[in-house]
């Protein structure tokens, strides 16, 4: 039996050829089916929602959809690659990836490309890259590793909480400078992971206070963010309101109109009209287009796929993982994929303020899809290494 260590804490990484590398074991097929279903749904939704965008940019919807399919293929390849790499190896590299993401985030803040009023992208050799996606997954995985490494010192302020707080604070602040929504979701997920990792309630309360203080500071730095929050709190409920249409609530209202038009069965594939009015219907508000074309039944089926991923990731992968590191990493990856999907849907329905968060494997985009594929691959790898049930009698 061969062991590797993470800061003197032992984890079984290699046992026998069958048990160590997962030979003879298969990844969770239900999870894989759910991811594939999202990808197929995404291609159809992007094709329906991107026509106006293609016209404005003097290209064709078919060309943009083909680009989306290529990105999906890359994400799928990344998923397969990470499904073959033991999750403990990924955890070891998470700290380096986190430091690297900090460098990218600083560069973005200084020289990043601006789209739709936000500076979140780095343009390198004609390719756009969003460092916040790398920073988010790197932080969550490293936090899982930290919770295991410092398992015996979780109640110690200096040895466990302050290091965790430092990594979370720096990452969320660097992301929040230009992407407040992603920072808020990441902070919430870190809070949940620290709770699952059995961090002291007093320390969790401190993290909450620090997070809220940081959120207030970031909101104060941007009039646009303040306008979104103010509009969400004070938004007019009647869609006929001219003031609402012309105000900051235009996006939310157009999304709600799309959902209302869809009804139970939808208007039909490719027959959306709200795609001509919604900003970024292929990304931020793609769920509204799905609801318009496929109705309550189609959009509900999409949400059920995310619920399937949640159930498989938590109940059948995380809770049955062979060690605590696998449990925490499976929880982190599952919650991140599902949270992004549900928040995107909630924004379209008017339940949350406008956030700009993509729907994993559905929204048009490259970086978010790439890292969603990475998280799915990690989940598939963890599903290969499950505790064997002991049958008594």
160 token code pair = 């466990």
pLDDT at 10 over 70: no
Domain for residue 387, yes or no?
no
- Is 251 inside a domain boundary? yes
Question: Is the alpha carbon torsion for 238, 248, 42, 321 positive or negative?
Answer: negative
Residue 17, domain extent:
2-382
Domain assignment of residue 392, yes or no: no
The predicted pLDDT at position 238 comes to 47
User: Can you give the pLDDT at residue 126?
Assistant: 60
Residue among 77, 90, 88, 91 at smallest CA distance from 35: 77
- Classify residue 390: in a domain, yes or no: no
pLDDT digits (tens, 9 = 90+) for 191-229: 999 999 988 888 889 989 988 888 888 777 766 666 666
Read off the pLDDT of residues 299-351 as tens digits, 9 standing for 90 and up: 999 999 999 999 999 999 999 999 999 999 999 999 999 999 999 999 888 88
Backbone angles phi, psi at 129, to 5 degrees: -135, 135
**What does the alpha-carbon distance between residue 362 and residue 81 come to, in Å, rounded to a whole number?**
21
For 216-229, letters b (16+ CB in 10 Å) and e give: eebeeebeebeebe
Q: Does the pLDDT of residue 259 top 60, yes or no?
A: yes
Q: What is the DSSP letter of 364?
A: S
Inside any domain, residue 175: yes
388 is a domain residue: no
Residue 94 forms part of a structural domain: yes
In the chain, helix, strand, coil percent, each to 5?
70, 5, 25
Identify the pLDDT of residue 193: 94
Residue 293 lies in a domain: yes
Element (DSSP H or E) covering residue 123: strand 118-124
pLDDT of residue 31: 94
CA 24 → CA 20, 119, 384, distances in Å? 10, 46, 9
Q: How many domains does the chain have?
A: 1
Q: pTM (2 decimals)?
A: 0.85
């Amino acid at each position: 039996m061969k062991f590797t260590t993470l800061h003197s804490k032992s984890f079984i990484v290699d046992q026998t050829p069958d048990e160590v590398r997962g030979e003879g074991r298969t990844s969770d097929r239900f999870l894989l089916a759910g991811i594939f279903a999202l990808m197929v749904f995404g291609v159809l939704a992007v094709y329906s929602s991107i026509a106006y965008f293609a016209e404005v940019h003097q290209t064709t919807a078919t060309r943009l959809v083909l680009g989306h399919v290529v990105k999906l293929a890359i994400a799928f390849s990344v998923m397969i690659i990470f499904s073959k790499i033991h999750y403990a190896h990924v955890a070891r590299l998470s700290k380096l990836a986190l430091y690297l993401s900090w460098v990218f985030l600083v560069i973005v803040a200084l020289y990043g490309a601006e789209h739709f009023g936000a500076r979140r992208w780095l343009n390198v050799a004609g390719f756009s890259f969003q460092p916040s996606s790398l920073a988010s997954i790197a932080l969550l995985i490293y936090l899982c590793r930290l919770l295991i490494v410092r398992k015996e010192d979780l109640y110690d302020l200096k040895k466990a909480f302050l290091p965790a707080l430092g990594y979370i604070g720096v990452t969320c602040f660097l992301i929040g400078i230009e992407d407040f929504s992603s920072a808020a979701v990441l902070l919430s997920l870190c809070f949940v992971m620290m709770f699952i990792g059995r961090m002291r309630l007093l320390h969790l309360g401190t993290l909450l206070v620090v997070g809220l203080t940081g959120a207030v500071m970031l909101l104060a730095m941007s009039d646009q963010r303040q306008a979104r929050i103010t509009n969400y709190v004070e938004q007019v409920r009647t869609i006929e309101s001219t003031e609402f249409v012309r105000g900051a609530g235009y996006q939310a209202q157009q999304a709600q109109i799309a959902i209302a038009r869809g009804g139970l069965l939808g208007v039909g594939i490719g027959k959306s009209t709200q795609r001509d009015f919604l900003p970024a219907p292929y990304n931020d508000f793609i769920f509204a287009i799905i609801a318009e074309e496929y109705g309550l039944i189609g959009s509900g089926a999409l949400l059920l796929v995310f619920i399937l991923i949640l159930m498989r990731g938590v109940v059948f992968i995380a809770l049955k993982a062979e060690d605590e590191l696998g449990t925490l990493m499976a929880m982190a990856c599952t919650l991140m994929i599902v949270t992004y999907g549900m928040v995107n849907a909630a924004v379209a329905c008017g339940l949350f303020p406008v956030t700009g968060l993509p729907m994993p494997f559905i929204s048009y985009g490259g970086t978010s899809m790439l890292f969603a594929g990475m998280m799915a691959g990690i989940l598939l790898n963890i599903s290969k290494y499950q505790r064997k049930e002991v049958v008594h009698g």
